[in-house]
Structure 1
């Protein structure tokens, strides 16, 4: 009910920060954006519609985006997600996650696509995917293996298993001058990301960044609504990392992968926003 409730609040002139995913499907996102644009056209100051995608605010991703310039031209990308969504996970029993196409693949997956898109700084143009349903305790599908191509021509793989006995999550980008890897990790009881950079000199530099994306996204939203209030009556450009459009683009990639899976691996173009 997020999208419907968000639009009602926006129509009433309220700024909104909703949870991800931005929408349950690409068609819902398109319709929602059309309504939002109509609302903005009729309300001075334009209410802000933000999506709480904390991965775009995690310090590890912010730093890695800067390091991407040092690896040179991208040659290959890997995103491997081996999750731990089982009956002991507090999100496991959420009924709504079982009642829309994609289930946990879409709900969890938007995080990993957001991280991928932020790192490479380029949109995903097309995908080809195979999906399967193995663990009947989970909604279908619970496994996806996809090949994707960026608009700049570079290709990569996105592999996601919803539930495994040995969870592992990482993004790896191989460039002409170096390799960058960002992996979920735990250091001295603190959960976060381990960033490894292998440069042209053969040396490896490694840093650990604790989770703080949720705090940072909330700070940013508060700053945005404060500025929008001060500049009431004139348009204010809110932080794009929080925008509904960015959230919709994450959904578009997974929507295309899920469609390809249904079509037995057919090549699917990702919807542009």
Structure 2
């Protein structure tokens, strides 16, 4: 018999994530097979990020990165009054931010090693903090900025990587009535390629989970899709937690906790 678990969850701290991972790793001693634990992070399955991650090698050496997130979390948003999002340290910055960090990590293909951040609480209708500015460094040496306002008058979601041979940009938008992401790629020849990808990350992640279940029912040693792994979700949380910790230390650099 094969046991399978699908979980969409956000932990408030990496210590809780480590505890959960320890429990999960103990399962082979309790069940015939190790359960599949799939974390529902749709950004890792959005075609815009999947395809952009393939193009990143064509921009040469990364020079700098910009992530600009201007959200629209106000009283008209169905998630605005959800109590659980207000009852842990980090509030909407952590709850929403993990998705944007997932998109960043998916795009650049390099782990974030350290951060230096300043956060503030401006909109009293939101739990603190409601905006954060962070300087981060990747393990490949490239630096970037992550700017996130939970509620803005002019919503915008943008990821941009500038390299020695070109630039790649992913921005949320609408095309022909469909919501999704516009991908712009500029190469050495100076020409700009544009392509719009409608949202379908949730559908894609669920399809992959079903495929994993079917495969695991035939093979107890089946390895699940890496993009759905619990560890990937924990790494997203670790980056946001490091940013919040840095802010609590008045912007002092903080190393991002590494997960295996």
TM-score, with structure 1 as normaliser = 0.93
Residues of 1 paired with 2:190 and 2:17: CA distance? Answer: 45
RMSD: 1.2
Q: Secondary structure at the match of 2:26?
A: helix
- Does residue 190 (structure 1) correspond to residue 178 (structure 2)? The answer is yes
Checking the alignment, whether the CA contact within 8 Å between 1:45 and 1:236 is kept in structure 2 is no
Q: Quote the residue 1:169 is aligned against.
A: 157
Counterpart selection for 2:198 from 178, 202, 210 = 210
Deviations 1:117-176 (A, max 9, x none): 011111000000000000000000000000000011110000000001110000000011
- Does residue 258 (structure 1) correspond to residue 244 (structure 2)? The answer is yes
Matches within 5 A, 1:107-256: 107-231=95-219, 234-256=220-242
**Which ranges in structure 1 are unaligned for 5 or more consecutive residues?**
1-11
Distance 1:269 1:56, change over 3 A: same
How many residues are paired up?
259
Q: Quote the residue 1:18 is aligned against.
A: 7
- Does residue 268 (structure 1) correspond to residue 239 (structure 2)? The answer is no
Superposition deviation, residue 45 in structure 1: 2.0
Q: Quote the residue 1:99 is aligned against.
A: 87
Distance 1:100 1:13, change over 3 A: farther
Checking the alignment, whether the CA contact within 8 Å between 1:192 and 1:208 is kept in structure 2 is yes
Superposition deviation, residue 43 in structure 1: 2.2
Per mean C-alpha deviation after superposition, the further-off stretch among 215-224 and 42-51 is 42-51
Residues of 2 paired with 1:162 and 1:108: CA distance? Answer: 8
Checking the alignment, whether the CA contact within 8 Å between 1:197 and 1:206 is kept in structure 2 is yes
Residues of 2 paired with 1:105 and 1:156: CA distance? Answer: 18
**Which ranges in structure 2 are unaligned for 5 or more consecutive residues?**
none
Consecutive aligned runs of 4 or more in structure 1 exceeding 6 Å deviation: none
Counterpart selection for 1:38 from 2, 26, 30 = 26
Residues of 2 paired with 1:13 and 1:86: CA distance? Answer: 43
Residues of 1 paired with 2:118 and 2:154: CA distance? Answer: 22
Superposition deviation, residue 40 in structure 1: 2.9
